[in-house]
Structure formats: structure tokens, C-alpha cells
Amino acid sequence: MRRIIGKKKEKDGKSIAMHVSAVSIGINLLLSVFKMTAGILGHSGAMVSDAVHSASDVFSTFIVMIGVHLADKKSDKEHPYGHDRMECVASVILASLLMATGAAIGMTGIKVIIGQNGKAAPIPGMVAFIAAILSIVVKEWMYWYTRAAAKKINSGAVMADAWHHRSDALSSVGAMVGIAGARMGVPVLDPLASMVICIFIGKAAIDIFRDSMDKMIDKSCDEETVRKMSEFAMSIMGVKRIDDIRTRMFGAKVYVDIEIAAEGKLELVRSHEIAEKVHLCIEEHFPDVKHCMVHVNPIVDMEENDQICL
């Protein structure tokens, strides 16, 4: 029964990721068309660039969908532990795209500052300014919407896509500041804002990349999670102590190896029952745990220990 519930949760996670991705693609397509139109009609180069940025988010979302789909594939002969790390690969690709996006925004700002040389730039229209405000609201909402889904299903790829939405919102902030600055006679605000935004986007890309690499090289769970696992294991009747517990991240999932100590005179069947209860308890209380391996060590009294030594 526990295995069926676990598989159902994984399927629900995939469904949530696919639904969020579909919503993301639809909104990004509509928003990019609207911003491109506003940029052309409002004579705003910043808004045109922002529209291209939104359009690139559609590509990144497709990468998320592919990564989640591949990670959901069943175990096979060549991959007995499954394909969960494919989601990490998708996160690494998205982190790279995010870093490239931030670098492009920063380079564009530098080029504009160098290329102006006192030349007067066309004043953007109000339609471009309104488009920037609308883009900030929509993309910030998309960030929180996607972020909530990523936390619910513990998906690094979906979280990376959420930060793509946040980078687009920051890009629109830069466009808004630039458009407002140009309309007030201070066009240099646009490229300066782009350079600041570049730093924030780069920081987000580095965080996503580090998280993905940690999950790919079997990083352990945090100490608080391990402590709680030990407490749940000790709550099982028959468990005398925890001799060892090791965890490792495998993509978005967790594998647990735990050694417990039980009374040495117990029958094998009884020892197995205790181990099975620990196994089920860990998987029940920690949904991200894909498998828990339990090893039972016998506790012998001093008299028996002396006989063994002899």
C-alpha cells in the first residue's frame, strides 16, 4: 500500500509540474507579443529587448518539461535507481541560460552607455511604460505561482524556471526605470539599471547551479532532517538505539541507509518486523524519501559477549 501511495505522489508531482509549465508557456507567449508590440509602437528599445527575454522563457520552460518527463521514467536494467537526476541536468541547463541572460542584459547596458556619447535617444511612449508595469506584475505573480509548485513537489527544475520568471520581472523593472528616465530626460538610468539587474540574475543562477550540483554528487540531507529521521526510528518499539544513519540526495529524491540495534535474542522474523516498521515510518513521514534501507545489529549482554570472545 505504501508503494502505491508513493508512486501516486510522484505522478501528482509530474502533473503539477506539467500544468505549471503549460500555464507558463501560454502567459509568456501572450506577454512577449504584447511587449514587442508596445516596444515598437512606443519606440522603446528596452521594451523590445524585454519582449525577447520573455520569449526566451518559453524555451526554458520546455527544458523543464523535458527534464521532469525524463526524471519520471521508470527504473530499467541500465538505470536501476531510476532517472531522477535528469531533473538536475535540466536545472543546470536553466542556470546556464539564466546566467547568459543576466550577462546579456549587463553587456547591453554597458554598450548603451559607451555608444551614447551625448547622442539624443528617442523618447519612449507611454504605452511602453504601461507595458513594463504590466510585465512586472504578471511575471512576479508567475514567480510566486511557480515557486509554490516547486516547493510542493520539491523540484529544482521548476524552481529554476520560477527564477527565470523573477529575472524577467527584474528585466522589466530595468525597462520601466529606463523608460521613465528617458521620459524625464535622464536616459542613462536605463543602462545603469540593466547592469544592477545583471548582478541579481547572476546570483540566482549561481544558487540554482550549486543546488543542482549538490543533488548530483550525493550530498547528504541537512542535520535537522537527519535528527528527525533518527527520532522517528527510535519511536518504533524494539529499536534500542541508532548505530548509524546516512542520507544522500538523488535528484529531487532521498535515499536513506540506517543501522538500528535490537535485542540480540529476538527471532529473525521479529527483527525483520522491526526493520520493516522503521522502513515504512521513515518513508511515511518524509515524502521525498524514495527508499530506506534498514540494517539490524544485535545487542548482546556482557555474559554472552564473553562467551563469544572465548
Q: pLDDT band for 293, please (50, 70, 90 cuts).
A: very high
In a shared domain, residues 24 and 52: yes
Q: How many domains does the chain have?
A: 2
Domain with 255 in it: 223-309
Exposure of 212 in the CB half-sphere (CA atoms within 13 A): 24
Is the pLDDT reported for residue 12 higher than 50? yes
Q: pLDDT band for 179, please (50, 70, 90 cuts).
A: confident
In angstroms, the Cα distances linking 276 to 16, 233, 244, 296 are: 31, 11, 17, 10
Higher pLDDT, 153 or 235: 235
pLDDT at 81: 65
In angstroms, the Cα distances linking 150 to 46, 67, 87, 89 are: 30, 14, 12, 16
Give the C-alpha separation, 162 to 64, whole Å: 11
In a shared domain, residues 204 and 292: no
SS (H, E, C) 115-160: HHCCCCCCCCCHHHHHHHHHHHHHHHHHHHHHHHHHHHHCCHHHHH
> Could you say which of 173, 198, 216 is where a domain stops?
216
The continuous run of DSSP H or E covering 178 comes out as helix 156-183
Cell of 25: 508557456
Q: Which residues contact 26 (CB under 8 A, 6 or more apart)?
A: none
Rounded mean pLDDT, 213-230: 84
Give bridge partners of residue 295 from the DSSP assignment.
259
44-88 pLDDT, tens digit per residue, is: 766 777 777 777 777 777 777 777 777 777 777 777 666 777 777
E-strand ranges in the chain read 241-250, 253-263, 289-299
Map grid coordinates 521525498 to a residue.
288
In a shared domain, residues 192 and 299: no
Q: What percentage of the chain carries pLDDT values higher than 90?
A: 20
Residue type, 211: D
In a shared domain, residues 206 and 94: yes
Residue 114, Cβ density class (10 Å: 0-12 exposed, 13-18 middle, ≥19 buried)? exposed
Q: Find the CATH number of the domain harbouring 298.
A: 3.30.70.1350
Q: Find the CATH number of the domain harbouring 151.
A: 1.20.1510.10
Rounded mean pLDDT, 156-163: 81
Q: Are the CB atoms for 225 and 44 separated by under 8 Å?
A: no
E-strand ranges in 192-288 read 241-250, 253-263
Q: Which residues contact 296 (CB under 8 A, 6 or more apart)?
A: 259, 260, 261, 262, 271, 272, 274, 275
pLDDT at 228: 93
In angstroms, the Cα distances linking 201 to 4, 95, 173, 180 are: 40, 10, 13, 22
Rounded mean pLDDT, 91-103: 81
pLDDT at 120: 53
Rounded mean pLDDT, 184-190: 73
Rounded mean pLDDT, 257-275: 91
203-221 pLDDT, tens digit per residue, is: 778 877 887 787 777 778 8
- Edge to edge, the sheet with strand 289-299 lists 241-250, 253-263, 289-299
pLDDT at 45: 67
In a shared domain, residues 199 and 144: yes
Q: DSSP 3-state helix, strand, coil percentages of the chain (rounded to 5)?
A: 70, 10, 20
| Residue 289: closest CA among 234, 242, 248 | 248
| Residue-averaged pLDDT of the chain | 79
In a shared domain, residues 305 and 276: yes
Map grid coordinates 531510476 to a residue.
82
In a shared domain, residues 203 and 228: no
In a shared domain, residues 210 and 305: no
In a shared domain, residues 183 and 211: yes
pLDDT at 243: 92
Is the pLDDT reported for residue 2 higher than 60? no
Rounded mean pLDDT, 281-290: 88
Q: Which of 9-23, 89-103, 150-164, 237-251 has the highest mean pLDDT?
A: 237-251
